[in-house]
Structures are given as C-alpha cells and as structure tokens.
C-alpha cells in the first residue's frame, strides 16, 4: 500500500476552505495556588480558534556566513536533493535525500566576508565526499556571497585573512545595504517571503548598556551614530525592518533587548540562539533522563575538539566564552524542576572545554562525563564519545528552522475572551527544540528538555487541526473490558496476547485507533 501524503481531520470542530484550516480547540491546563500549607490545583480551560493559511508561499532563505561549512553544506544538500544526485563511496552509492524546500525555494543565497564562490567554499569545508563535490561544482561555481559587515573585534583575530568581501561605509550605510540586499533578492527571485539565518562566526558577547542597545529607539540611534553594534545585530535589525524573520544560529547575544523590542513593535519573528545539533542535544535528553529517574546529577564535564574554521574561531577566549555560556545553561530547567533532589540554588558542576585540532576538520569529537549520586552513597558515571561531521548535523536543523518559522507565520488564533486574531509572540519560543539556548518571551519559562520541546511543537500543530494533545495514556489498552468507542478501520484482533514486536504495522504508520502510536491494535484479552 502506498504511504499517505495527506491527512484530513473529520470533525465538526475543523473547517477546511481553499484558503484556510480553521479549528476549534479546548486548551486545558491548571493553575495552582497556595492556601496556608495546601497547594490548590484548579483545572482551567480556554477555547481557542486556530486559523492556518493553506497557501504555501514562495520562501527564500538568506544565510549570513553562506560560504562557511554550514552554509556551503546546506546549499550542497539542497542541490543534491533537487538534482537527484548519487555518488560512489567506499560503502556503495549514496543519494542526496531528505533535504528539500519543495517548491518554495531558491538555493539559499546570502552574505559572507569571504569572497570564495560556493564551490570553492564547499572544497574548503572538506565535509562532502569527493564524488559529490565534483558533481556539484558546476552548479555552485557561479554562486558568490554578497559582501558583508566585518567588524574585526567581534570575531577572532585568526579570521582576518578571510575578510576580503566587506561592505564599506558607516554602520547606517551598512544597514541600508543589507536591507537593499534583502529586497533585491526578494524581488529578483519573485519571493513572497524571506527568512534571514545567521550561520556566520560566533561573535563575542555585546555588553547590554542602557542608552546604547536596551531599547529599539536607542539601538537605531546607536546605528545612526556609528556606536558599538555587532554585525549580527545589524543583520537582525535589517531583517526586522524588512519584515523578515531573523534566526540566530550562533551563541552570541545578537538579539539584545533593543532588537527584541524592535521585533515586538514590527511583529516580526525572531528566534535563537545557537543550533542545538550534537553534544548539547544529547545533554538535553540525558540529564532529563537522569534527573527524571531520581539520579542526582552532580558533575557534567564536556570536552570537544574540532578542526574546522568554527573551531579556529572558538580558540579565541571571547568567542569561546559565548559558546561556553550557551552550552552551559542547557540543564537549568531540569535541575530547577526537581526541588526534591536539588535544594534552592544547588547546581551540578558543569564544565565545557573546546580545543582546536586542525587535523580532525569538521569531524568533531565530543566527550562527556556525567556523574550522578545514587542512594546510600553510590555514584553513577556515564561516559560518551561522539564523532560526527558537525555541519551535517547543523544543515538539516537550519532547514527545519526555516520551514517551521514559515509555517508559524501562517498561523493566527483568537480565544473566547480575546476574539481579535493574533499571532505567536515575536520571540518564537516554539523553535527552542532547535536551539541550544532558546529565547523565550519575557517572563516565560525556558524549556531545554528535548522531548518536552518536541511535544510542544507536535501538540501545537495538532491543535491547529483541532486534535487533542498527544497523551501517551493508551487507556484503551489498559482496560479489563474494552469500552472505548472506535472509529475507522482496525487491524484484525486476536484473542491471544501480542508478543513484543509482533503487532502489525500499517505502511503509513497511521491507521487504526492510533492515538499517535503507530501500532495501535484493539486491546487484547489475557489468556489463562
Ligand atoms: N555546525 C554545527 O553543528 C553548529 C552547531 C551550533 C552552532 N554552530 C555555529 O554556526 C556558526 C557557523 O558554523 P560553521 O561551522 O559554518 O562555521 P564557519 O567558520 O565554517 O562559517 C562561518 C562563515 O561566516 C563567515 N563570516 C564571519 N563573519 C561574518 C559576517 N560578519 N558576515 C558574513 N559572514 C561572516 C566566515 O567567513 C565563514 O565563511 C558558528 O558560529 C558555529 O558556532 C554550528
């Protein structure tokens, strides 16, 4: 049977029109109050109407740092997929798969302070197999990054040799040039939307100073006066002023308070910081698992060595510091969520080391040691060693960020108490799944735990088509007597217990009373 490519929700709460999908949704949560020594939990319910525009726009993604390892690898991946390339390797032929912007794309164009064309940049990156590089070469040779803003003190001094492709002039003139570049790309490629993604070098942190960058007005004045502003913040401001979402894939604090306020004023999405690709992603699963299992993690030591240009840039202390901060905050929510294990203010030791070792290139090594306390004075030590091409982890994340942001731009909603349509908050925290140090709207909790982040996305998308959140209760399989009304085709039932792994799987993984589980079957009666 062919896998289904579309699904339709048949429910009185969901209306499909050629333009939109409109869904009524009951958002159920709880509020908690304290009365004396008692916590009182009150279930609450709010009725939402979600409206999602169905017309998929022509989307263009512009990369800052296009000629870097991530930028050239993403471009190569999109092209390899579009051209349906295959190439020989030691272990057989490989095909370019999984990656594609469908009918929305051009290849991702952008800016770089290095003038190398994308074919040469791909060769410099040393990420892809030679056979693939050779086939891609003629397609990438004509791709040249636009000149960019180079302010030497923000990135490591060892990057200066690359900077041969820069926008001259004052900060205000540079801002105007970036804005022109965005408009030029949008109109010349006939695009409906552009999203700008920072995948350039990690910068040092920018000090947040009242009067300089603390409000939108001050930040814009700072740019006009030529005072201190980082290149990445200039790109963020230019994107916001052009009404284009801006996403920050590096760890520095690009989105200073003034940039966030500007995004709020212009109702433009921003997201960040720092792609959650490897070591930190594993950490956001492993620490959640350890603490969730009652193991009190007391020491996390993470060591990396890598030999690509990112590693060279991070070998300078101020740029390393940006990365260290972004990598270190990832366990905070998990520690704070468990006051039984940790007393107020108690934190595990958390040490992050990054070393530049040119020989290993893009093939980053990450070594982690997690030590947790067990009952009765025991300790549990877990050691991980991961070797992986860094850019092959980052490129799909960049694509997912662009696609998810674009989808969020098509969603609006209202509630019974506030019937005026609204969008998601401009600080698009839904993207936290893809960022190491997720930005969240002021006053909102920051979630780092990977599966909580994932289920947030999954359940909001379900809400958009009027489906309840995924609950994993599988109550229908826990009852003594089957008592739930079933709708739709079911796998044939058998009166014997199902052995592990023997449940039939629908080819598209989605038929039956699945409740999100691919192998849902009617409850089995125990045999005696
Ligand atoms: N690869 C991953 O898995 C991963 C994960 C998380 C974050 N990151 C971050 O993504 C960024 C890119 O990583 P990479 O491996 O592609 O690095 P890279 O050094 O290969 O590429 C960065 C590119 O940015 C260019 N550049 C520097 N300053 C610029 C500016 N002001 N304007 C335009 N271009 C500029 C450089 O010339 C270079 O080509 C880094 O900050 C890295 O820390 C990467």
Can you list the domains of the chain with their CATH numbers? 1-55+449-487 (3.30.2360.10), 59-275+397-410+432-446 (3.40.50.720), 279-391 (3.30.360.10)
Q: How far is the CA of 94 from the centre of ligand 1 (A)?
A: 27
Atom of ligand 1 nearest to the CA of 232: 31
Is any ligand 1 atom within 6 A of the Cβ of residue 114? yes
318 CB-contact burial (10 Å; exposed 0-12 / middle 13-18 / buried 19+): middle
Non-local CB neighbours of 378 within 8 Å, separated by 6+ positions: none
pLDDT in the model for residue 340: 87
Distance (Å, rounded) from C-alpha 230 to C-alpha 259? 12
- The reported pLDDT for the residue numbered 494 is 45
Q: Is 148 in the pocket of ligand 1 (CB under 6 A)?
A: yes
308 pocket-lining for ligand 1 (C-beta < 6 Å): yes
CA of 328 to the centre of ligand 1 (A): 20
Q: How far apart are CA 50 and CA 399, in angstroms?
A: 25
Q: Is 281 a catalytic residue?
A: no
Q: In 3D, which of 101, 306, 73, 105 has the Cα closest to residue 199?
A: 73
Low-confidence residues in the chain, pLDDT < 70: 1-4, 97-108, 484-528
274 touches ligand 1 (CB under 6 Å): yes
Reported as half-sphere exposure (CB side, CA atoms, 13 A), residue 97 has a value of: 5
DSSP state of 492: P
Among 203, 122, 62, 195, residue whose Cα is nearest residue 391:
122
**Model pLDDT, residue 337:** 81
The closest alpha carbon to 228, from 321, 313, 154, belongs to: 154
Q: What is the Å distance from ligand 1's center to 199 Cα? A: 5
324 lines ligand 1 (CB under 6 A): no
372 in contact with ligand 1, CB cutoff 6 A: no
348, 331 Cβ separation under 8 angstroms = yes
Work out the number of other CB atoms within 10 angstroms of the CB of residue 207: 10
Q: How far is the CA of 469 from the centre of ligand 1 (A)?
A: 37
Contact (Cβ atoms closer than 8 angstroms) between residue 307 and residue 356: yes
- For a pocket test of ligand 1, which of 72, 127, 175, 199 has the largest count of ligand atoms closer than 8 A to its C-beta? 199
State in Å: Cα 354 to ligand 1 middle.
16
Beta carbon of 394 within 6 Å of any ligand 1 atom: yes
- Distance between CA atoms of residues 2 and 507, nearest Å: 7
Look at residue 485 in the predicted model and tell me its pLDDT: 66
Asked if 104 contacts 61 with a C-beta cutoff of 8 angstroms, the reply is: no
Report pLDDT for 106: 52
Residue 3: the pLDDT is 63
Residue 478 known to be catalytic:
no
Provide φ and ψ at 301, rounded to 5°: -120, 120
CA of 252 to the centre of ligand 1 (A): 12
* 436 is a catalytic site residue: yes
In this prediction, residue 130 carries a pLDDT of 95
Residue 249 CA to ligand 1 center (angstroms) comes to 8
Indicate the SS3 state at residue 482. Answer: coil
Say if ligand 1 is within 6 A of residue 67 CB. yes
Task: List the catalytic residue out of 112, 181, 273, 274.
Answer: 274
Q: What per-residue confidence (pLDDT) applies to 329?
A: 79
Q: Is 393 in the pocket of ligand 1 (CB under 6 A)?
A: yes
Tokens, residue 281: 């992603």
Cβ neighbours for 503, distance < 8 A, ≥ 6 positions apart: 491, 519, 521
Name the active-site residue from 364, 368, 390, 513: 364
pLDDT at 107: 60
Measure Cα distances from 66 to 96, 108, 395 in Å. Answer: 20, 8, 12
Confidence at residue 334, expressed as pLDDT on a 0 to 100 scale: 83
Q: Which of 152, 284, 310, 396 gets mutated to test ligand 1 (max ligand atoms within 8 A of its CB)?
A: 310
C-beta 231 within 6 A of ligand 1: yes
Query: Residues 323, 333, 368, 513: which is the catalytic one?
Result: 323
CB-count exposure of residue 289 (10 Å: 0-12, 13-18, 19+) = middle
């Amino acid at each position: 049977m062919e896998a289904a490519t579309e699904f339709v929700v048949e429910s009185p709460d969901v209306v499909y029109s050629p333009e939109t999908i409109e869904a009524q949704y009951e958002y159920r949560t709880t509020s908690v109050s304290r009365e004396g020594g008692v916590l009182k939990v009150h279930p609450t319910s709010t009725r939402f109407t979600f409206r999602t525009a169905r017309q998929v726009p022509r989307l263009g993604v512009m990369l800052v740092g296009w000629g870097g390892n991530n930028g050239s690898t993403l471009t190569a991946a999109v092209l390899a997929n579009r051209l349906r390339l295959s190439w020989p390797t030691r272990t057989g032929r490989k095909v370019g798969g999984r990656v594609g912007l469908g009918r929305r794309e051009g290849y991702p164009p952008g800016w770089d302070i290095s003038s190398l064309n994308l074919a040469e940049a791909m060769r410099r990156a040393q990420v892809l197999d030679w056979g693939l590089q050779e086939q891609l070469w003629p397609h990438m040779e004509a791709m040249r990054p636009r000149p960019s803003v180079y302010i030497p003190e923000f990135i490591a001094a060892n990057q200066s040799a690359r900077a041969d492709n820069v926008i001259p002039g004052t900060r205000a003139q540079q801002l105007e040039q970036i804005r022109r570049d965005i408009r030029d790309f949008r109109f010349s490629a006939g695009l409906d939307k552009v999203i700008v993604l920072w995948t350039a070098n990690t910068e040092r942190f920018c000090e947040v100073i009242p009067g300089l960058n603390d409000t939108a007005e001050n930040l814009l004045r700072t740019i006009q006066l030529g005072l201190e502003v980082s290149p990445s913040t200039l790109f963020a401001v230019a994107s916001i002023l052009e009404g284009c979402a801006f996403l920050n894939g590096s760890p520095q604090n690009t989105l200073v308070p003034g940039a966030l306020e500007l995004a709020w004023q212009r109702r433009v999405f921003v997201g960040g910081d720092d792609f959650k690709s490897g070591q930190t992603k594993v950490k956001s699963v492993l620490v959640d698992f350890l603490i969730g299992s009652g193991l009190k993690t007391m020491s996390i030591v993470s060591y990396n060595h890598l030999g690509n240009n990112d590693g060279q840039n991070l070998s300078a202390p101020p740029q390393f510091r940006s990365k260290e901060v972004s990598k270190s905050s990832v366990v905070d929510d998990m520690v704070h969520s468990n006051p039984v294990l940790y007393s107020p203010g108690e934190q595990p030791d958390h040490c992050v080391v990054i070393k530049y070792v040119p020989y290993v290139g893009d093939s980053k090594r990450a070594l982690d040691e997690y030590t947790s306390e067990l009952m009765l004075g025991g300790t549990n030590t877990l050691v991980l060693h991961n070797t992986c091409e860094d850019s092959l982890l980052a490129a799909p994340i960049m694509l997912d960020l662009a696609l998810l942001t674009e989808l969020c731009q098509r969603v609006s909603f209202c509630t019974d108490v506030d019937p005026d349509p609204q969008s998601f908050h401009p600080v698009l925290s839904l993207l936290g799944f893809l960022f190491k140090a997720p930005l969240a709207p002021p006053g909102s909790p920051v979630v780092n735990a990977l599966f909580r982040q994932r289920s947030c996305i999954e359940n909001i998308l379900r809400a958009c088509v009027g489906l309840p959140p995924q609950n994993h209760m599988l109550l229908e399989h826990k009852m003594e007597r089957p008592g739930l009304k079933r709708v739709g085709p079911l796998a044939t039932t058998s009166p014997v217990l199902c052995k592990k792994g023997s449940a039939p799987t629908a080819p598209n993984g989605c038929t039956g009373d699945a409740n999100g589980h691919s192998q849902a079957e009617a409850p089995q009666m125990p045999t005696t």
